[in-house]
Amino acid sequence: MRVSSRKGESLAHLLKQEGIHNASVLNAVACTPRELFLPDALRHKAYQNTALPIGQGQTISQPYIVAKMTELLLASSNTPKAVLEIGTGSGYQTAILAQLFNKVFSVERIKSLQFQAKRRMNQLDLHNVSMKHGDGWQGWASKGPFDAIIVTAAASQVPSKLVEQLNDGGRLIIPVGEQSQQLHCITREGEGFSEKIIEAVRFVPLVAGDII
């Protein structure tokens, strides 16, 4: 059982006021030391409800969005156990997922970010995470299908490879758009899919192709 911090509990309380109701998600936020995922110069802002730069043109997402996307995954009717994360980034979202799902698979295209995130998982004794250096648009087919998929960068359109890697009843939570972005919740229903738009968001773009 992870131990919460006073600052973590304050952040979780703020997120509850913002509309996050899942107690397991709020507890994971309270128990995750967000400062560990930030450059030293920004650690004093760790428990603010804001996105922050982590280098390489990437950001650590706003805690509200991390919690909201996680809550949407957990609300799936299929009781998800294995989740695929596209865009490891700092590893903060990964750490939240690792406390709530049996198995987390995470893909990152920037090798240096992946290396740092892997080190942080070890520091936190989160050993149910598998990481891959690769193109997020392709997912991780050899480990699928997945009960849930979360994408932490905005795609210009929903990647078909990710939809294909969903289990029946599984959910894909993904920001879609370029200048204007919306958070989409896509649920696999047998051979078909349903799609719901949740709210407006702002993410860095999901880059296809070359890994670095």
* pLDDT tens track for 113-142: 999 999 999 999 999 999 999 999 999 999
Confidence (pLDDT) at 1: 52
Confidence (pLDDT) at 33: 96
Mean pLDDT over 97-107 rounds to 98
Tell me: cis bond preceding 175? Omega within 30 of 0 counts.
no
- Confidence tier at 12 by pLDDT (50, 70, 90): very high
61 is catalytic: yes
Q: Do the Cβ atoms of 83 and 146 come closer than 8 Å?
A: yes
Angle between helices 23-30 and 6-17 (to 10 degrees): 150
What does pTM read for this prediction? 0.95
Q: How far is CA 139 from CA 28, 49, 78, 120, in A?
A: 25, 29, 20, 22
- Of the candidates 4, 61, 90, 106, the residue annotated as catalytic is 61
- Please report where in the chains the tokens 């994408």 appear, as a residue: 151
- Confidence tier at 212 by pLDDT (50, 70, 90): confident
Asked whether residue 78 carries a pLDDT value surpassing 90, the answer given is no
